[in-house]
Structure 1
Amino acid sequence: MNFEIVTELSHLERVCEQARKVPAVMLDTEFVRTRTLYPRLGLIQLYDGETLSLIDPIKLDDMSPLWALLSDESVIKVLHACSEDLEVFHHYSGVMPKPMVDTQIMAAFLGHGLSTGFAALVDEYLQVSLDKGEARTDWCARPLSDKQLEYAAADVYYLWPLYHLLAERVADTGWNEAVTQECDLLVSKRGKAPDPEKAYLDIKNAWQLRPKQLAVLKKLASWRLREARRRDLALNFVVKELHLWKMARFDIRSLDKMADEGFDRFEIERHGSRLLRMVEDLDSLPEENYPEAIVRLVDMPGYKQMVKEIKDQTNAVAEQLGVVPEFVGSKKQIHQVLKWAWVNARNPEKMPDLLSGWRKAYVEAKILPLLK
């Protein structure tokens, strides 16, 4: 397994120009994520079937040739379990790999579980046992050892034959178009940045708060997300989620009360006064500007029975198609349907996954009558 380490722009231009001449390239990323909001990119692996390149983003100031390759729609970008890789690409380049194929999704259409790992597929389809001993490497440290580099290279080296084997089987089963739709759906979802004005909806137990308290939580959660982005700091390292909720729930108005409620000393010293000012500023907010109370699907009449009935239908479809049930309709996707029908008044601009794309043909006629 031969590979090149790319640390200069001219070298990157050369390998990317060559990669843009082939139908498909294999991609992977290695990154570190501990206290940061965004992943810290340590290495990018690129394989075009001939040249395997380990691209060093720490040494390279200009990565534009690679970003241009990602945007080149004449070349398929192949990844495995790519959700976090997509986040990396979007953060560093502002673009997504298009078109993109995820071999984990391909495997799901062939009956594998949704979280089937790369090593398991390589073992099953290629009879190769991969060494995963370097999985917890600090990929931003330099120099990387030969063992670390070989580990990273293997992820795209074996992705090449795996992809082509899976592609043959997907074609034989007639799932090509569905794979494309599912991969496109994943790209569209991962390309959306969270809206700070809706960050409060992701706070645990926000539903317990009254509208006035939600106004406080909304203000604090929006500020926390913006602060986390500004400092590239994981959300709970700015202020813990529970503490934002406590500020709203218990109408905390002093630093002493924050301490009594278990706030960290560093949270109080760095942000305490600012948080208190934000709470006080909302005293003059008119009631009509409060957020609406959060109504949970689980509290709506008939919720449990409706979930069961939809799940029975999606499970039957999954058995018919020979895929795992969660792939046809996960709990989140069933909730999407109920929210669309019960909360969003069946807004055609907010169609749920189960009633669009490849799933529509199999489940729409079974699910819509239940919703009526």
Structure 2
Amino acid sequence: MPARLKVGYCRPPRQPDCVNDRPVPIWINDPAALQAHFAQRPGRIGLDTEFIRERTFWPQLALVQIALDTGRGSLAPDDILLVDPLVPGMAEALTGILADTRILKVMHSPSEDLVAFRHTCGVVPTPLFDTQAAAAMAGIGSGVGYQKLVEQLTGTALAKGETRSDWLRRPLSAAQLEYAADDVRHLFEMHDVLADQLQRTGRLAWLEEDAARTLANAMAEGPERWPHLSLRSAGFLEPDVQRRLLRLLRWRDQYARTHDRPRTWILDNELAVNLARNPPIDLGGLLRVFDSQPKAPRKLADAVWQALQTPLADEAQAPDARQAETRDKHLLRRLQDAVAARSRELDLPDGVLASRRWLEALMDTGEWPSALGGWRRAVLEPTLGPLLTTGDNATTSV
């Protein structure tokens, strides 16, 4: 029985059948049709999404591209599915495919795609092979984009055309369909090359460990506990001001998630810092401040006032943002140099072994952060351990 349409949903006009006289991939606007293509489960699929995130906190999933590994070699047009997630029941149909651990999901730099899938489907694609991360571990380069990596590994130059398209409109244009299909058309070729390289160098387990952590983090994604640390200006604020700023930022994040609005549309960073530094004496004072700020959230004044005045249960434990100014910069430089030297020995691009932020966390707490656990710790600890014993790793709080 066909899925019942949601109130307000209108089935869009038919999609084009050809692009430049070539058959286009299969347009899927029926959950049963999607499930039929997976009656026999493939060992792997290529996966990508198009989404819109201009006016919302959560990415709005607008299109899901799936390449099916049929074992026939090069992909035929009917091996690529363009799935309309706006159709009622489609998210539920996708969920079973994404969660099926028998199917490897090959993706490229999927961090935001994972957020979109988790928000729309409640799951993330498991297991995962990230071709961008694989290229870094293979020594090709760090953060290499899809188009550049496709050209480097397959010799195919892709058009750049539709990155700014409105993917929520229906029907999609022929150019959009072709662009979307290209985003998964070459994933299997790249997977074959990269998996072989990593297998030969013994680094495939590294990639699998990173992928598992990426998926776990995506599923556990939630409000940042100490958002004030992300603001550079917080490093110049006194502890009591930092605590007020923390209250406002936590409230803003929760409101943004609940009401699906970008954080800065609710309360911009500059205004939050100003309120924390110069707190009004009462609600009337807050309203006067808002009157002088064109983008101030006047309708939310009561909530902002309540957040500003209400201490957080854990705010006394908040790290002092000023520690960046007192951190041992010479030790940090020695750690960075040691990581760079180890990267050269392993033929790894900069940034793969350890970022500056991870090293700072290691210095501040004296404990290896989860991002530096597993294979990275095994590679780095013999080099970094002796250096850390010379520094002061005590953590300060505001």
What TM bracket, shorter-length normalisation? 0.7 to 0.9
Quote the residue 2:338 is aligned against. 313
Q: 2:289 aligns with which of 258, 269, 283?
A: 258
Q: What is the aligned-residue RMSD (CA, Å)?
A: 2.4
CA deviation digits over 1:207-243, x for unaligned, max 9? 4333433343233222211211122100000111211
Structure 1 window deviating more from structure 2 (211-220 vs 225-234): it is 211-220
Deviation at 1:195, TM superposition (A): 2.9
Quote the residue 2:53 is aligned against. 33
For residues 92 and 38 of structure 2, what CA distance do their matches in structure 1 show? Answer: 10
Deviation at 1:147, TM superposition (A): 1.3
8 Å contact from structure 2 (residues 251, 307) kept in 1: no
* TM-score, scaled to structure 1: 0.88
Q: 2:371 aligns with which of 342, 353, 371?
A: 353
- Does residue 115 (structure 1) correspond to residue 143 (structure 2)? The answer is yes
**Residues 29-178 of structure 1 correspond to what in structure 2 (within 5 A)?**
29-50=49-70, 51-178=79-206
Q: Secondary structure at the match of 1:28?
A: strand
- Does residue 272 (structure 1) correspond to residue 272 (structure 2)? The answer is no
For residues 312 and 99 of structure 2, what CA distance do their matches in structure 1 show? Answer: 47
* TM-score, scaled to structure 2: 0.82
Structure 1 residues 264, 333: closer, same or farther in 2, change over 3 A? same
CA deviation digits over 1:79-99, x for unaligned, max 9? 001111111111112212111
- Does residue 368 (structure 1) correspond to residue 394 (structure 2)? The answer is no
Structure 1 residues 49, 368: closer, same or farther in 2, change over 3 A? same
For residues 185 and 239 of structure 1, what CA distance do their matches in structure 2 show? Answer: 32
Deviation at 1:182, TM superposition (A): 1.8
For residues 263 and 168 of structure 1, what CA distance do their matches in structure 2 show? Answer: 57
Deviation at 1:61, TM superposition (A): 3.2
8 Å contact from structure 1 (residues 24, 75) kept in 2: yes
For residues 307 and 160 of structure 1, what CA distance do their matches in structure 2 show? Answer: 40
Deviation at 1:197, TM superposition (A): 5.4
Deviation at 1:41, TM superposition (A): 0.9
Q: Secondary structure at the match of 2:166?
A: coil
Aligned length: 356
8 Å contact from structure 1 (residues 111, 324) kept in 2: yes
Query: Residue 365 of structure 2 aligns to which amino acid in structure 1?
Result: W
Structure 1 residues 126, 290: closer, same or farther in 2, change over 3 A? closer
For residues 47 and 4 of structure 1, what CA distance do their matches in structure 2 show? Answer: 10
Structure 1 residue runs of 4+, over 4 Å off? Answer: 285-293
- Does residue 14 (structure 1) correspond to residue 36 (structure 2)? The answer is yes
Query: Residue 230 of structure 1 aligns to which amino acid in structure 2?
Result: T
Structure 1 residues 199, 304: closer, same or farther in 2, change over 3 A? closer
CA deviation digits over 1:129-172, x for unaligned, max 9? 10111111111111101111111011111112121122122222
Task: Give the fraction of aligned pairs with identical amino acids, expressed as a percent.
Answer: 27
Q: Secondary structure at the match of 1:160?
A: helix
Structure 1 residues 89, 288: closer, same or farther in 2, change over 3 A? closer
Structure 2, unpaired ranges of 5+: 1-22, 71-78, 390-398
CA deviation digits over 1:186-218, x for unaligned, max 9? 223333323365444434423433343334323
